[in-house]
Amino acid sequence: MVRFIIRRILQIIPVLLAVIILVFGMLYLIPGDPARLVVGIEASQETIEIAREELGLNKPIYQQFLIFIGGLLKGDLGTSIQTGTPVTEELAKRFPITMTIAFGATLFAAVFGILGGILAAIKQNKFIDNFIMVNSLLAVSIPSYFLGLLLLIVFSLNLGWFPIYGVGTPMHYVLPIVTLGAQSMGLIARMTRSSMLDVIRQDYIRTAKAKGLPGRVITYLHALKNALIPVVTVIGLRFGGLLAGTVLAEVVFSIPGIGRYMVDAILERDYPIVQGTILVVAISFVVINILVDITYKVIDPRIRYE
């Protein structure tokens, strides 16, 4: 296991390097001059050149890249062009909010999706199976932004059960978590049902039934454990996707997370913020994939990585 973890960490180095190069290249691929954005459209060429010198944009590309790498090694993601505040400090304040929403949505989707999938598999072709599958299809089909607005109107504006916007209490996170987790819940439920149906038709499940083992023991101890491998893969990928996709909930519910922070930076052409946010999300996604691989071994000790 230790050798596998070390090998996986070494394998992500070229991936991270490629991400860093792409993130740095954004500065030159996106139309617009950051220096002109800082000093204003009506500024003179001399003022623009001074701004370019202050931002280090007048140096050769390779020198700018080395400076960028040096900053990353020190934990410095640059400074916002618009506000002048360090990007690292802003992300440190906003990232826990986004992570809370993404983790909560993943947990919500995993718990209810797996339970729904198990129940649908056990009651195959019965009313409850059809009911769960229809609702999971609806959950997958409804866009997150539309569901968020619907929940906001019904449970916040009309019923007053949850706060309308912002963060501060656990109640602020409920609707954003449900909004982001609904699609993943439907997907996980369908995947769990399919995987469970494949497993419960295996010979060892029939043998367990023939031995007279209780149905719950067969379902949760034997069948579910072997059916979880593809489900864990989906959960891990969805967690990474939700981490990058919280912007929908953050905009609808006015949450100061990294998703909304990046969208505002894109609109203002604040490249250091965009670069730093993408880099943090990419690194988080890679780490999540490693954790998913380790989870395989925990679920099924027969798996060998060597």
Express each pLDDT in 94-132 by its tens digit. Answer: 888 888 888 888 899 889 988 888 888 888 788 888 888
- The amino acid at 51: A
Rounded Cα distance, 138 and 84, in Å: 45
Do 96 and 25 belong together in one domain? no
pLDDT value of residue 269: 72
Instruction: Kindly state whether residues 103 and 235 are assigned to the same domain.
Output: yes
Question: Same domain for 289 and 233?
Answer: yes
Q: Cα(37)–Cα(168) distance, rounded to whole angstroms?
A: 34
In a domain, 171, yes or no: yes
Instruction: Provide the pLDDT for residue 90.
Output: 83
Q: Same domain, yes or no, for 42 and 159?
A: no
In a domain, 240, yes or no: yes
Q: Does 115 share its domain with 254?
A: yes
Ramachandran quadrant class, 78 (left: phi over 0; alpha: psi -120 to 50; beta: rest) = left
Is 169 contained in some domain? Answer: yes
Tell me which residue range forms the domain holding 27. Answer: 2-73
CATH number of domain containing 190 = 1.10.3720.10
Is residue 116 included in any domain, yes or no?
yes
| 68, 95: one domain | no
Rounded CA-CA distance 193/173 in Å is 29
pLDDT, tens digit, 9 for 90 and up, residues 235-248: 877 887 777 777 77
Whether 305 is covered by a domain: the verdict is no
